[in-house]
Amino acid sequence: MDRIIIIDQEYYLSEITEKDYSQLSKIIGDRDISLNLLLVPYPYSLEDAKCWVNHVNEQTAEFGRIINWSIRNKEGKLIGGIGQHLTYGENSHKDEIGYWLCKDKWGNGVMSAVIKAYCDYLFKTTELIRIEAPIFSSNKGSEKVLKKNKFQFEGVLSKAYFKDGEYIDSKMYALIKG
């Protein structure tokens, strides 16, 4: 099982561990980040981080591979995350991905590079031929990153999500293997 995916000289993907509790709660505890994450509570506590890491470890054990990865800088510091949702089941030909990144790395190409490397990895190591990335309609940063990675816009899903007491439209993007 792969334990590291090299993005470039500055960044790599690896397992999320117990050492990440504090940094995880700090990054996701930022309201600007949590606003674009559907199932993440706000405020995001240290206990929430512990529950997430436990869930990730259970998935890794169950599926025999890492499903949710940490994004790290070359010093090993957690700066974000990316993973599969397994929306359609483990053996489906398609799946959704989700991702997040600390605010001080927004807009400098980190997530574009991560998504490219991660999607390449998924296409090489799984049976996926379709990777979906539904995003909140207001998330212009994600939209830019997906377009940069050749994800195709497929349409708007009206009132697709419910978060913080309101319905949110989603834009569906997909990348097809080929």
Q: Quick one: pLDDT at residue 16?
A: 97
Q: What is the reported pTM?
A: 0.96
Question: What is the bridge-based pairing of β-strands 94-101 and 130-136?
Answer: parallel
Give pLDDT tens digits for 98-111.
Answer: 999 999 999 999 99
Partners of 14 in the β-ladder: 4, 70
| pLDDT at 97 > cutoff 90 | yes
| pLDDT at 87 > cutoff 90 | yes
Q: Which band of pLDDT confidence, cut at 50, 70 and 90, is reported for residue 2? A: confident
Average pLDDT over residues 116-126: 98
Q: Give the domain extent around 13.
A: 4-176
Give the separation between CA 169 and CA 119, rounded to whole angstroms: 24
| pLDDT at 1 > cutoff 90 | no
What is the SS3 string spanning 22-49? HHHHHHHCCHHHHCCCCCCCCCCCHHHH
Residue 169: phi, psi to the nearest 5? Answer: -75, 150
Average pLDDT over residues 132-161: 98
The total number of structural domains in the chain stands at 1
CATH number for position 129: 3.40.630.30
Give the separation between CA 41 and CA 43, rounded to whole angstroms: 6
Q: Report CA 138 to chain centroid distance, whole Å.
A: 17
Task: Please provide the average confidence, as pLDDT, over all residues in the chain.
Answer: 97
Average pLDDT over residues 1-15: 95
Give pLDDT tens digits for 13-34.
Answer: 999 999 999 999 999 999 999 9
Average pLDDT over residues 141-170: 97
Give pLDDT tens digits for 32-66.
Answer: 999 999 999 999 999 999 999 999 999 999 999 99
